Structure 1
Amino acid sequence: MTTAQTAAEHTDGFRRVHPLTPLLRFWTLILAVFAGLVLNLNLSSLQAIWSVLREDTDLAIWPLVASIGGFVLACGLIWLLSRIWWKATGFRLTDEEIQHRRGVLNTQLRTARYDRIQAVDLVESVIARIFRVAAVRVETAGGTNSVIEIAFLKRAEAEELRRQLIDTTHARRAESQPVQEGFGLSEIGSPRVMETPVGTGRQVVPSIPIMRTLGSTALSLNTVITVLALLIIVFTPLGITALVPVLVGLVPSVWNLIDKSWKFQADLAGDILNVSYGLADRRRQSIPLGRIHGVSMTQPLLWRLFGWWTVSVSVAGYGVDTKQGGTTRLLPVGTKDLALHLVEVVGPLDDGELETYADPTRITRPTYTSPPQATWVSPVDRKQQGVTLVGEAGGVGADTAPRAVIVHSGRFYHRMALIDVSHIQELTLKRGPIQKLLNLSTVRLNLVPGPVSMQGSDLTYADGMELLTVLRRRSLPELTGPGPDGENRAGTVGYD
């Protein structure tokens, strides 16, 4: 049975979403109203209700009956209005695009061409899981606010719609865009992409143990700051009013760490990395390896006690990691060996090259490092800062075209990032006033929006100019101008 057969349709071909969608979208408001009513049931209200139940004739029950009747009438009115909104909401798949329509007074129609789709994710919020429904999020090229969410559908219908979108995108791109050598591994919908459910491909990241998730969250910087702030508030005369901004600002970030690493697992099927995670909002996400650009491996200070690391990536078309968007952390917490294995899977270097050039704890064979005078501007991290260029046959010098760039930084917060040089968008050489006095410079590698940032910090001016020259010789895809993900293929160089 297909989605078209199971979903209700409008007369113009738009399929309706689940009838509970309006109420599920506003469930937090409904819950807040209900909680407010419960909290306002004081002792006198309870006594009045009890008197009514005992048939106390001396009690004027009409105000109570009117209140209950008004509440029921309001609920009925909300339900009626939600049905009107529901009937005006729908989606359909045409030969060229997916369309999503909503709104009664102001109708909004959003579309996404199949050749612009970057990823199709299945999202199950905590309230959606109770009613066995799910949302389908279509990530498209275009940056901010470029997501179309089809919410909500029965879970089986949502899974079928997701498969249908991926298959259609696959077929459409196979017809219009032959795979080019040197253009990453693949894109969603390329001839080599096959959508496979989590758990059926080669396991890359096994399900993260719950105790490891809780332990890593407890040792994270956000949690430590939250605990310290609470202790200061409790043991100082700041008062309870100071507690509110702390809870509002820090607790959601701590919860986000738990939610996005809860039972996280990843499997590799062909050139697609399928991940599944979530405590409150369960999510299934497919990430094409060809869309992964920068890769970083980091270790917070307190995680050294257990040897834990995290791996993050910048994915073309995804942007920064947000609550509504997909995750860009491919390993929320794991051992060093597991993190390096994942970097090998999604990055440009093999296992041997990672062992030789990319030890995340220290610089092994750097091409450029910060000179002694950089101690004045970076006294703590100076000896940990370095840039390593890797060529086709291993290490690379100033006269050899590089294939990949590795950047090390951080003494207390270990960080190693790497990227295929073809994914570098722009190059910028920066020199601040103090750097000019010390004959230093910083070369920034501009990448697609995401959590991974890379720069050669506090190099000598000569090394900075040399690095700039070497990276300008990098091999670039044949495409010029904006690609399907909105990125600039040609790349530019800037001076600041």
Structure 2
Amino acid sequence: MSADRPVPPPEGHHWPAPPPDGHPWPAPPPHGQPWPWDGGPGGEEPRRRLHPLSPALHGAKSLVVVIAGLSWSTLSRVGLGWFAAMVALLALGATVLAVISWYNTGYQVVGRELRVHEGLLWRRTRAIPLERLQAVEVVRPLLAQLTGLAELRLEVVGGGKTEAPLAYLGVGEAAALRGRLLDLAGRVPATGPAPAGPAVPGGGSAEPPGRPLHGVRNNDLLVSQLLTPQAFLLPFGLLFVVVQFLSAGSWSFIAVASTLTAMAGVLLQPVRRVLDDWNFRLARDDDTLRIRNGLLETRAQTVPLRRVQTVGVTWPLLWRPKGWLRLRLEVAGYSGAEPDDRNRPDRLLPVGDRATGELVVAEVLPGVRLAELPTTAPPRRARWLRPLSRQALGAGLDERVFVARSGLLTRRLALVPYARIQSVRVVQGPVQRRLRLATVHADTAGGAGAAAPHRDLAEAWVLAAELAERAHAARRAR
């Protein structure tokens, strides 16, 4: 055993993560005293259960799923009485299972690790190292707002989906646990609950804590959703549903209900985007971003700035006359987590003008100015691969970030800080080899990163070498 590492702690105690380079291992505590990372004299803090109302909320969600699963056709076949009995029986079973699940679910913080225990017949314990923690969200669906509860969601490096969704906790407990996890992830002592903004009905806060950066006007949010292809196609979709209903020649309850369900499906996409981004507020609290948004389901997201992998800028075609853009974060663990765009908690600016975009980008990536980013287009022979969008492609090296632009109708810009680049790849397809072209990829931790497509082969290798050198220098300087 190495001389600079103390004798291992007794059984039941846990070593912390290795200290940073150049820092010694901590000395063992005096005899009879608890190890500082174990949380108490017994070596571990006690396991905590979720809020007692959690089974009721899960049961209510299951009831909605059951009714949707039975569908209107089942109602027409079995009648209203049997339909209600089936719903009640299935809802009761779902509630019983939710109670059993709640009784056997708990969590505890051990050192720099969050452990979630669950399962009755097959016990499972998930251990989430807090060093890999990227962001923490406090999400409050409508039922949770009415009952004063909240759901805590964690995003970690390399995660394919949200880790350890703790549903549900009291609002105060969720805020305190979020602050503690973020403090432990930052390798500083926990300081208790995160500060809260002014109270509003339902237990939320009108503004996120910290220095306010920007608040999106709800009128701009509504107009931005009207200026989307989905909004323009919406009348045609509704007309198709109505024509189908009238041509069927049936005015029964089932036909009317089915038509309303189909119309709701057509309306859902643009409406839920407005509901998700309603009252969007962005603030900065020391080295973290505080984001709050949502109407029926509120989200309070905390993202450490050092965890941001990429910033994406988008200019939709119909927004350009108004000079609007959209900003999104790429935080490791988010990029591939959800197939549905609305469920990805990566919003940085749902809609705003260029000046606002410049301000927000400068806060997240200090020293970066959108109007001064250098990019060059691929060589002319790349038109054989991109005949229409060659001029829209571009890449360049800013002093602090790698820049890649793309998109013909919807223009996109990806900004990757050099310190976040994990690997650099040069890729050639069969046609690219004939044209002496190559694509340079800058990969980030668990994210899409950015790519410079169809560069001259010699230029691609020079670009890759420069990216690797700058990434190494930036990580060494941190």
Residue 383 of structure 1 is matched in structure 2 by 391
Q: Closer, same or farther in 2 for the Cα pair 1:86/1:225, shift >3 Å?
A: same
Query: Separation in 2 of the partners of 1:21 and 1:129?
Result: 13
Report 1:120-131 matches (<5 A): 120-131=136-147
Name the CA distance, whole Å, in 2 between partners of 1:27 and 1:474: 53
Aligned ranges for residues 302-451 of structure 1 at < 5 Å? Answer: 302-320=318-336, 322=338, 327-347=345-365, 349-351=367-369, 354-355=370-371, 357-358=372-373, 365-366=374-375, 368-391=376-399, 403-450=400-447
Check conservation: 2:155, 2:332, Cα contact below 8 A.
no
Aligned-partner Cα distance in 2 for 1:68–1:380: 58
Match of 2:8 in 1: none
Q: 2:313 aligned with 1:293, yes or no?
A: no
Aligned to 1:369, what secondary structure does the other structure show?
coil
- Alpha-carbon contact 2:401-2:416 (below 8 Å) kept: yes
- Do structure 1's residue 461 and structure 2's residue 457 form an aligned pair? yes
Q: Distance in 2 between matches of 1:121 and 1:268?
A: 15
Change (3 A) 1:33 1:473: closer
**2:275 is matched with which residue: 249, 254, 259?**
259
Provide structure 2 residue ranges, at least 5 long, that are not aligned to the other structure: 1-44, 197-206, 249-254
| TM superposition shift of 1:130 | 1.5
Which secondary structure does the structure 2 equivalent of 1:383 belong to?
coil
Shift of 1:262: 1.4
**Deviation of the 1:90 alpha carbon:** 2.2
Once the two structures are superposed, what CA deviation does each residue of 1:446-492 show, in whole Å capped at 9, x if it has no partner? 23344x65222222223223222322322426989xxxxxxxxxxxx
2:175 partner amino acid? E
CA contact (8 A) 1:321 1:328 kept: no
- Residue 471 of structure 1: aligned partner: 467
Q: Report deviation, 1:158.
A: 2.1
What secondary structure, in the 3-state scheme, does the structure 2 residue paired with 1:22 have?
Answer: helix
How many residues align? The count is: 410
Preserved contact between residue 421 and residue 471 of structure 2 (Cα < 8 Å) = no
Looking at structure 1, the residues matched to 332 and 153 of structure 2 have their Cα atoms a distance apart, in angstroms, of 16
> One-letter code of the match for 1:204?
L
Contact 2:311–2:416 (CA<8 Å) still a contact in 1? yes
What residue in structure 2 maps to residue 28 of structure 1? Answer: 61
Select which of 191, 212, 231 maps to 1:203.
Answer: 212
Counterpart in 2 of 1:119?
Answer: 135
2:164 is aligned to: 148
Inter-CA distance 131–405: structure 2 relative to 1 (3 Å threshold): same
Distance in 2, Cα, partners of 1:378 & 1:311: 26
| Coordinate RMSD, CA, aligned | 4.2
Match of 2:223 in 1: 215
- Residue 286 of structure 1: CA displacement? 0.5
Q: For 2:86 and 2:269, how far apart are their aligned partners in 1?
A: 40
Amino acid in the other structure paired with 1:429: V
Residue 137 (structure 1) aligns with: 153
The answer on whether the counterparts of 2:158 and 2:332 sit within 8 Å (CA) in structure 1 is no
Alignment deviations for residues 99-146 of structure 1 (CA, whole Å, 9 cap, x no partner): 222233333222223333333221111111121111122333341246
TM-score between both structures, scaled by the size of structure 2:
0.72
Distance, in Å, in 2 between the alignment partners of 1:97 and 1:165 is 9
Aligned-pair distance for 1:266? Answer: 0.8
Match of 1:14?
A: 47
* Matching of residues 45-194 of structure 1 within 5 Å: 82-145=98-161, 147-170=163-186, 173-174=187-188
Shift of 1:149: 1.7
How far off its partner does 1:150 sit?
1.7
Match of 1:130, SS state, is: helix
Following TM superposition, by how much is the alpha carbon of 1:289 offset from its aligned partner in structure 2, in angstroms?
Answer: 0.8
1:277 pairs with 257, 280, 293, which one?
293
Over the matched positions of the two proteins, sequence identity in percent amounts to 27
Q: Which has the larger radius of gyration?
A: 1
* SS in structure 2 at match of 1:382: coil
Asked if the contact 2:176–2:193 (Cα under 8 Å) also holds between the matched residues in 1, the reply is: no
**Structure 1 contact 348–419 (Cα < 8 Å) conserved:** no
Q: Secondary structure at the match of 2:470?
A: coil
Deviations 1:297-355 (A, max 9, x none): 1111011132210011211243336369651120111111111211111125334xx43
Contact 2:66 2:90 in 1 (8 A): no
How far has the Cα of 1:19 moved from its partner?
Answer: 1.9
Aligned CA distance change for structure 1 residues 381 and 97 (closer, same or farther; 3 Å) = same
Task: Give the secondary-structure state (helix, strand or coil) at the position aligned to 2:391.
Answer: helix
Letter in 1 for 2:357: A
Q: What's the secondary structure of 1:370's corresponding residue?
A: coil
